[in-house]
Amino acid sequence: MFARWGQHRFQRAFVARRIKRARSITSNGGIDSASLGNIKHLADRITTAKNSTIFLTGAGLSAASGIATYRGEGGVWDSFVTDWGTKRKLKEDPLEWYNTYWLGTHGQAVPAVHEAAQAIGQDTIRQGPRSSGGQRCVARPKPNQGHLALERLCHGTNCRVVTQNVDGLHFQGVAKEERRQKLIEIHGDASTFKCAGHPNRPLNGFWDALLCPVLDAGNCPFGITDTVDRNLDVRIDESGFPQIDEVPMCPSCSALLMPAVLFFDEAYRDHDVYRWMECIQWKLSANTLVMVGTSNSVGITSTLLRAAYLQGMHVYDINTEPTDTDPIAAIDVRRIRGPSEQALPLLSAAVLDSS
């Protein structure tokens, strides 16, 4: 027991030295001393804990890659996004939906948009409501130092990532199997499609769970389990907005294809691409939750915060601005204030150099 205590004491001291050294060689920007202390505390937990650590990432992580955040300063979430980001709105006028909403707000995450912009020699596109003129954004975002630090950290430790982002910037340089073992894209993948012809699965409940296989039988597999790789024929119009002239159709049942992302009138259980049950298993085996660049305003954050409260998990929040931990106000959260592209490299260096 004393040998183990001595080993942990040595590891904590080593982590502290690594943080101190990182501060001397890295510009810590707006990261204050209290936040640096919490980075040290988190690094120590990752180094010594037996159970896994879950990083829950949001739009703030991708801000340094040039992708607009949702609810922070300059965010794009408003009634336009919540109204248009539904299956109902898609089916009213599919072509208008793709051009006005999907390509207008998520075009940066669509590979066909990258190719269309490159074909005409442009490195930016317009994103946002056309009525307001949108804003110029980088056409092909790349992983930033925060993404890369998380990739290194997860490769060498028992850490995993659940991301709310659909931009595909996590683990780009990692083999497919390892990527699946370390990453759940809980809101889907903007580079692929699913069939819109399948109805939503029933609400939660014992009998509903039993009925799901019966209700799913005979329906298009791309509507419930599989996804379709389809390259949209995108052009960049004179204003800089990405557009298409024909909507994609399902190769199996000829119904409309929709992006394989979570819509506002869908649930996590409606398609296997969200890997909801795997996410539940991950949270049960974790003892530390780290929220990165998220406003804690959607379903998955509430789910994981409740799990943290019930399981007695340690909770950390890496963000540039204060966030709520509602609906569980009793959770003790260690705050790390500053850009994730600065905080995560400090954390990664401290953990990996001490292991």
The pLDDT value given to residue 218: 53
Q: How many CA atoms lie within 13 A of 265 on its CB side?
A: 13
Confirm if 164 and 187 have CB atoms less than 8 A apart.
Answer: yes
- Residue for token digits 């890369």? 148
Q: Which two tokens stand for residue 179?
A: 């990527």
Per residue, what are the HEC states of 124-156? EEEECCHHHCCEEEECCCCCCHHHHHHHHHHHH
Question: pLDDT tens-digit profile of 148-184?
Answer: 999 999 998 999 999 999 999 999 989 999 999 999 9
What is the residue extent of each domain of the chain?
67-141+218-266
DSSP 67-105: ---SSSTT---SHHHHHHSSHHHHHH-HHHIIIIIIHHH
* Greater pLDDT, 41 or 71: 41
pTM for this model (two decimals): 0.86
3-state secondary structure of 265: coil
The Cα 253–Cα 244 span in angstroms is 22
3-state secondary structure of 124: strand
Percent of the chain exceeding pLDDT 70 equals 79
Question: pLDDT tens-digit profile of 216-269?
Answer: 545 788 888 899 999 899 999 999 999 999 999 999 999 999 999 999 999 998
Give the residue-averaged pLDDT of 14-43. 69
Q: Which two tokens stand for residue 80?
A: 């336009």
SS3 content of the chain, % helix, strand, coil (to 5): 45, 15, 40
Helix and strand totals (H; E) in the chain: 14, 12
Confirm if 162 and 186 have CB atoms less than 8 A apart.
Answer: yes
Question: pLDDT tens-digit profile of 293-303?
Answer: 997 767 899 88
Give the residue-averaged pLDDT of 53-68. 93
Question: pLDDT tens-digit profile of 340-351?
Answer: 999 999 999 999
The pLDDT value given to residue 321: 81
The pLDDT value given to residue 115: 96
Give the residue-averaged pLDDT of 285-300. 88
The Cα 51–Cα 321 span in angstroms is 29
3-state secondary structure of 185: strand
Confirm if 163 and 189 have CB atoms less than 8 A apart.
Answer: no
The pLDDT value given to residue 23: 46
